[in-house]
Amino acid sequence: MDAIVLKELSKVFSFKASKGLKGFLRPVKKQVRAVDDISLTIKKGETVAFIGPNGAGKSTTIKMLTGILQPSAGHIAVLGFNPLTKRRELAMRIGTVFGQRSQLVFNLPLTDSFELTAEMYGVPKQEAQKRIATLIRQFDLTDFVDQPVRKLSLGQRMRAEVANALIHNPDIIFLDEPTIGLDIVAKRSLRETIKSVNKERGTTVFLTSHDVGDIEEVCERTLIVNHGKIVLDAKTSALKKDYLKRKKVSVVPADGVDSSVAVEEVAAISEDGRLVFDVDITKTPLKQFLPSLLEQIDIADLTIEDTPLEDIIHELYTKEK
Amino acid sequence: MKPYLHIIRTAAREDSANSKRLIGGVLVTVVRVSLIAAIYKVAYKHVGNVGLSYENAVWSIAIYFTFILNLGIRNIFKLVDIAVRTGAVEVGLIKPIDWRLSKICELIGKNGLEFLVQLVVLPVWLLIVVGAPDTSHLSLASGVVFLVLTGLSIVAASATFTMVGLTAFWLNDSQPIYRIFDKTTLIFGGGFVPIALLPHAIQLAVRYSPFGVYAAPTQLFNPQIIQVLVPTVVSAAAWSIVMVGACQFVWKRAMLRIEVNGG
């Protein structure tokens, strides 16, 4: 079954363009198309990254999906509900985490927030206690579950936010930058937990993030949105394969670094006692580049790296501009 | 209804952790009422009885402060204003409960304990400092009517001050609008002078205005109110309906402006 279906979805914002007395007397209105004719389908249980530069239309789309904003045109169905007319029914079936907005009770222990959420979503008391205990274990919250939320570290709080969003066992969880501000250890731990929730409960994950690690480690599918349009809809694993055009070949020469060297017309850059070649594999395939390299330079060590996914995504953003 | 009761309980627990605020709030009201009682004592010495005894005048103002300041329904504007300006309102809208009602419950939970403590502390203090008020005009039936009036007052004030907070959607800061409403309530609701001591024409206008509705419970010690209790209740009920309707209208308009806040 489909979790989310969008058909020709658009959102146009209008705002006053003129300011001051002139603007008051003769208001000029301008329009911005924040979401432009988006159509997509997300199946139940999928893990989807919804990414794009600032102002691309991500937040607007999430707000329409959750019933906060009214679309200007098009059709939305989330778990079969129209979010605008069935907002509360839909709210019972979705969970949300906003990295920059806490949904926990600041001055009370975590358990109070969990109990309040369970009550809000009508989870029977005994069932709620069971689920809370399971989530505390699954999210490794035991050590600080009795501490007031204000005393938790950011990493602990974010794990608790995600656990809190899962108390009513939602079918979809919307995660808006869940790892923002977290250190590497906390990020890894949170990503692992989100993945396990998806596997064990079959919860559909809809994630927006500027952190490529979130996308690579959590999401099977990536949607890139820019200027309100979907510019790419692909399997995350295929992203690199299909869009990888460059390789970074780094060598440590046995007889000292000579940065004036060029191999197959690819110039070297000297970096920390290494020579680095940025090879465009569409023009110079590695099978052609590497023999020439070995012939020209006496090599003590060699590494070949893919272009980071971050650079690929950046290239896709800028290409669209 | 259960989630809302849970919100009240959670907010009360959260606030009870801050005992300094609780004690401070109670003391401020006690000091304020004591100062007003001292000023009134001097004034009553000069002008004599003006239709309301000195004790009843001070007890009326004490109720005003306990109800308006300690319970503080008017402060719903601040919760709404902050939520609108920070965009937190959007998070609230994703919950399966009514966001406005949840905010009112949060406020009642936060201020409820202070209000209940004040209901015990202030009467004891006033009995010692001012003396007992004249309650010969009160009966069980009028007591029940006053409870109804209190309920209607909470409904009307909640709706009005939620609306004031929602103006932040248009003005970015609802504080100026709040000040107008709050000071008008203070003047015409009996914060400075009990309603019973206002000129007759103003009393009449106030009684049937929303400001009179917000402060209706403060009339408990005004013996003249008994004669007009029924029209006062009818007016309070009518204004409650009007204000809830107006709040609903403003809310719907405000929802169309969410785009401005981070859309």
pLDDT tens for residues A165-188?
A: 999 999 999 998 888 878 888 888
Digit-coded pLDDT (tens) for A103-133: 998 889 999 999 999 999 999 999 999 999 9
Q: What integer is the mean pLDDT of B32-52?
A: 85
Quote the DSSP letter at residue B66. I
Q: What integer is the mean pLDDT of A268-277?
A: 87
Domain ranges of chain B: 2-260
Highest mean pLDDT among A212-216, A237-241, B96-100: B96-100
pTM, two decimals, is 0.80
Q: What integer is the mean pLDDT of B186-212?
A: 81
CA A220 to chain centre: 11
What distance in Å separates residue A11's CA from the closest CA in chain B? 10
- Partner-chain contact B91 A116, CB within 8 Å: no
The residue written with tokens 């929602």 in the block is B166
The contacts of residue B93 (CB under 8 Å, 6+ apart) are A66, A67, A68, A87, B99
- Residue A155's pLDDT band (cuts 50, 70, 90): confident
From the candidates A33, A65, A93, A107, which should be mutated to test the interface with B, based on the most B CB atoms within 10 A?
A107
Give yes or no for residue A50 having a pLDDT over 80.
Answer: yes
- Partner-chain contact B3 A70, CB within 8 Å: no
Digit-coded pLDDT (tens) for A280-303: 888 888 889 999 998 888 888 999
Task: Give B 67-106 residues with CB within 8 A of chain A.
Answer: 86-88, 90-91, 93-97
- Partner-chain contact B17 A108, CB within 8 Å: yes
Give yes or no for residue B221 having a pLDDT over 70.
Answer: yes
**Which among B17, B87, B95 is the nearest to A107, CB-wise?**
B17
Q: What integer is the mean pLDDT of B140-157?
A: 91
**Which among B6, B13, B259 is the nearest to A108, CB-wise?**
B13
Q: What's residue B208's pLDDT?
A: 85
Q: What's residue A136's pLDDT?
A: 92
Q: What's residue A144's pLDDT?
A: 92
Digit-coded pLDDT (tens) for B170-196: 888 889 999 998 888 888 877 777 777
Give yes or no for residue A321 having a pLDDT over 60.
Answer: no
Q: What's residue B247's pLDDT?
A: 96
Q: Which residue has the higher pLDDT, A242 or A2?
A: A2
Q: What's residue A94's pLDDT?
A: 94
**Which among A34, A59, A91 is the nearest to B96, CB-wise?**
A91
- Residue A306's pLDDT band (cuts 50, 70, 90): confident
B215 in Cβ contact with B189 (< 8 Å): yes
Give yes or no for residue B261 having a pLDDT over 70.
Answer: no
- Partner-chain contact B96 A88, CB within 8 Å: yes
Give yes or no for residue B256 having a pLDDT over 60.
Answer: yes
Q: What integer is the mean pLDDT of A85-95?
A: 91
- Partner-chain contact B96 A92, CB within 8 Å: yes
Q: What integer is the mean pLDDT of B104-123?
A: 91
User: pLDDT above 90 covers what percent of chain B?
Assistant: 37
Q: Enumerate chain A positions whose Cβ falls within 8 A of a Cβ in B.
A: 13, 15, 34, 59-60, 63, 66-70, 87-89, 91-92, 94, 96, 98, 101, 103, 105-108, 112, 115-116, 119-122, 148
Which of A260, A256, A263 shows the shortest CA–CA distance to A299?
A256
- Residue A221's pLDDT band (cuts 50, 70, 90): very high
Query: Between the CA of residue B143 and those of B58, B147, B149, B170, B194, what are the distances in Å?
Result: 19, 6, 10, 42, 19
- Partner-chain contact B96 A119, CB within 8 Å: no
What residue of A is the nearest CA neighbor of B87?
A101
Q: What's residue B69's pLDDT?
A: 78
A83 in Cβ contact with A76 (< 8 Å): yes
Q: What are phi and psi of B77, to 5 degrees?
A: -55, -40
Give yes or no for residue B262 having a pLDDT over 50.
Answer: no
- CA quadruple A62, A65, A69, A72: dihedral sign: positive
- Pairwise CA distance, residues A124 & A109, whole Å: 21
- Partner-chain contact A66 B94, CB within 8 Å: yes
